[in-house]
Structure 1
Amino acid sequence: MPYPIYQVDAFSSDLFKGNPAAVVLLNQWLPDETLQKIAMENNLTETAFICPQNAELHIRWFTPTTEVELCGHATLASAHVLFNHEEIEGDEVTFYSKSGLLRVTKNDDQLVLDFPIDDIYRVSELPAMMKARSRDKIQEIYRGKTDYMFILSNQADIEDFVPSMDIISELDSRGVIITAPGKDVDFVSRYFAPKCGIPEDPVTGSAHTTLAPYWSKRLGKTSMTARQLSKRRGDLVCEIRGSRVLIGGTCKTYLKGQLL
């Protein structure tokens, strides 16, 4: 039977910017191998699969090569699809996931993710990074649940950073976040995850569960503006609320169709 499929540009108010995600609506789970092949065929950074179970909405995310435990932009895109194309009632949707309960609230044209804050800690020098071209610009290194985070001096360093994908692939992490103070926003970042089949992710919602608590402490504020400086770019608003981080952004639908 055919399944509805959408492609949505997340964390952008304009088409062809932000981070594109596929959203597939299922009535029952397909085999994991099939889900992975669909994600590989879509060839986007993430494909989200939504499936109802016992009156609950469950969500899973796949890159072209692997399943991940948390994805921000594809969750935002999924909520956008439900609110704008599937006519879900109310202003809030709750997803059950491998990372626990994830809520997305509609606030005018903005959608707000409610995600758990990442636990981060400072780590000593990574020997492999000694070979990276921009090593001298890395001031501090932190580790979260799934990613390393490198602190750089300024926005220009983020824009000019040349990652070594081979080295990043060798690290014991999902990927690497680089971040610095922004010129027009509180902080900027980029994200690299070649091990997951994503050399550079355009806009990474889940990375901001790591970024937001760091910058909140450093800047002494709980509400912050952020920009991911990939080629497509994307804008986010982050707010710390206890052990949660609210991550806001907008979406645009690029296509809808049927998956045969």
Structure 2
Amino acid sequence: MSRRGPEQRSRAINPNVPNVARMYDYFLGGKDNYEADRAAAAEASRLNPDAVLCARENRAFLGRAVRFVAESGVRQFLDVGTGFPSMGNVHEVAQSVHGDARTVYVDYDPVVVQHGRALLATDEHTAMVERDLRKPGQILEQAADLLDFSRPVCVLLVACLHFVTAMEDPYRIVKRLMRSTATGSHLVISHVIKTPKTIAAAAAYQGASAPVVLRTETQVGRMFTAAGVEMVEPGLVRVPSWRPHLNALAEEDAERVDLLGGVGRKA
């Protein structure tokens, strides 16, 4: 299995190299990005005019999924590959349902971690840790400082597994993370799928901190199978179609969003 060495890590924090977290921040209208990120994001948008829509609908899916899981009774959340803080952070949505909900954010980028810790400095129920999602054992060990894995936990892998290569084995990652959780735990995944638009836009990520790995719907669905969870309704769908609000995109517009999302429950 490949690991992130010093060169890969330096690419992740180099302002002259497009960074996938900062590009996503730019798509969401954030300010934690540099010229290299904006240029790469602009190229991705040129190649896929729906790139910004995809990012924003993915963020909206995250909020709906967290609320659903919290309303199902879960009070602990592990958000892996979280990226920069933005509107509707996991802990904010979870605590709007349960005031004592606990959240651990995980990212390998030290700049992301620094921003997260600054935001969370006064919240005793929330923590930010610097770990790589490719090393799930280390994530679980550190998250256990705040989360009780003998009780249900929601593991979130939102828009991050498409930066994990086949050699790094995303199926192993989800299996390892969910193996340590209790019955009643949930798994939330969103993932870019392979379409003509995403194949074109992937070129904008080739020189970035991590290339995009496009997968089919069947390959994304296998992640839930590997994790040993049962899909909840409506299953694995384009993210705007997952339990949409009344003002959600029409079905034909939702097809423009080439991200699949779903939630599974551990029985």
Q: What is the TM-score of this pair, normalised by structure 2?
A: 0.24
Structure with more helix by fraction: 2
Structure with more strand by fraction: 1
Higher relative contact order (CA 8 A, sep 6+): 1
Q: What is the TM-score of this pair, normalised by structure 1?
A: 0.24
